[in-house]
Amino acid sequence: MLIVIAAGGWYWFIANRPAGVATGPPAPVSSQAPAPAEAKHLSIVVLPFTNLSGDPAQDYFADGITENLTTDLSRIRNSFVIARNTAFTYKGKNLDAKAIGKELGVRYVLEGSVQRDQNRVRVNVQLIDAESGAHLWADRFEEGTADLFKLQDQVVARLVNSLGDELVKAEAEKGARSKNPDAVDLTMRGQALLFTAWRDKDKNDAARTLFEQALRLDPNDADALAGEASTYENEFIPWKKPETDYEAKILGRVDRAIALAPDNVAAYETKSYYLNDAHRWDEALRAIDAGLAINPNSARLYAARGWLEINVGGFEQAKSDEQQAMQLGPRDPNIGDRHLALGSAELGLGHVDAAIEEFHKTDNGGCCDVASLVSLAAAYALAGKIDEAKSALAAARRIEPKLTVKWMLAQQTPNLPPLYEGLRKAGIPEE
């Protein structure tokens, strides 16, 4: 379910491609089961969400979020999620997270509250380290209540997408402190590095080393295989090595990961990235659709399909997919990439003012770099704002002095004719 895509290698500048966490079967425990000597990786209990509405009749809504969140978290690969019936024995009890974690043998406790009044629902949630009692992550948002059941699904999907990343980060930190890390520790440390490895060759290489170490301990670790493939996909355009067989390093590993674990959505993500970069769009779409069939709430697969639709001219569908990705993952660290994709789709539709607005938002997402600056320059030029276009292009060339039309084509820029039309108006050299 977890772990963003760009349309072609050109967007390696902004596209975060972490290996992620895919889905898997639940592993509930009963309240009578003895707590394990050491809590399992990704072990968590979702405590019953508190109804703050002041109306006991609204308990069903808070309980529904708790139950659905428990079910969806149990699909994360290698997770250990306390069953709903056990978790609900804590409803209304004032116990601290450390005591609950010790009693149930889990590493994490998730608690939250729901407040519904008239036309709005407010949700607060926090993730707690059961060992230390430290608060690791919190989120708060509110939505309209036109369709309560649809809203419930949206709340759960957003939480699961965000929680997956947070749990990987937390597990990676625990693994880094371990004197004898196992394959799961090593894999999660590699996955955590992949969140930023796309723009840092040293991090990408370090992540690959961790996945290789994990595979030496367990050659059939599907997540490590998918992660190692992702490091080669990160390398494919910006740091490509002529001697490397990327078809084997990427497709060979993800196909093996899928054979070992057919529910490994991360493998489908990486497969689609590579096929999209190679402009094998029909194959990339099949990989995305296969992943979405497993996890229809994967924000990154929607983002992947958005970039792919930009490549093939499906700009309205691209907008829809990227908006869905943002709704499912509003706190994604790569939100800037979503805005870049939305802007590119608007550019393809000829909506240059809307494109400019989206390209400016990429800076707020932390990805104001060559790709976003060049896209902004093209949009400004198409809007007739030549001075602004030249300024944005100059900023891009300060980051990448080799920036020319020929260089961009070598970076496998997305199939977006207005981008080149605008850049030529802005004055980009041909070669």
289 vs 363, which has greater pLDDT? 289
Residue finishing a domain among 113, 142, 177: 177
CA angle 142, 145, 151 (to 5 degrees): 75
Structure tokens at 27: 């592993």
Helix axis angle, 222-235 to 253-260, nearest 10°: 160
Residue finishing a domain among 110, 143, 177: 177
- Domain assignment present for 4: no
Q: What is the pLDDT of residue 4?
A: 35
- Domain assignment present for 106: yes
Give the C-alpha separation, 60 to 54, whole Å: 13
Mean pLDDT of 291-306: 90
232 & 375 share domain: yes
| CATH number of the domain encompassing residue 138 | 3.40.50.10610
- Domain assignment present for 1: no
Give the C-alpha separation, 81 to 21, whole Å: 15
Mean pLDDT of 355-369: 78
388 pLDDT above the threshold of 90 = yes
Q: What is the pLDDT of residue 368?
A: 56
Residue with tokens 């060979």: 252
Inter-residue contact 337 to 6 (CB < 8 Å):
yes
253 & 399 share domain: yes
Helix axis angle, 370-382 to 386-399, nearest 10°: 160
Quick one: pLDDT band at residue 280, thresholds 50, 70, 90? very high
Give the range of the structural domain holding residue 227, as residue numbers without chain letter. Answer: 9-17+198-426
Q: Would you call 81 helix, strand, or coil by DSSP?
A: strand
Q: What is the pLDDT of residue 20?
A: 35
- Domain assignment present for 62: yes
Q: What is the number of domains present in the chain?
A: 2
46 pLDDT above the threshold of 70 = yes
134 & 249 share domain: no
Q: What is the pLDDT of residue 86?
A: 87
Q: Would you call 401 helix, strand, or coil by DSSP?
A: coil
Percentage of residues of the chain with pLDDT beyond 70: 87
Inter-residue contact 194 to 210 (CB < 8 Å):
no
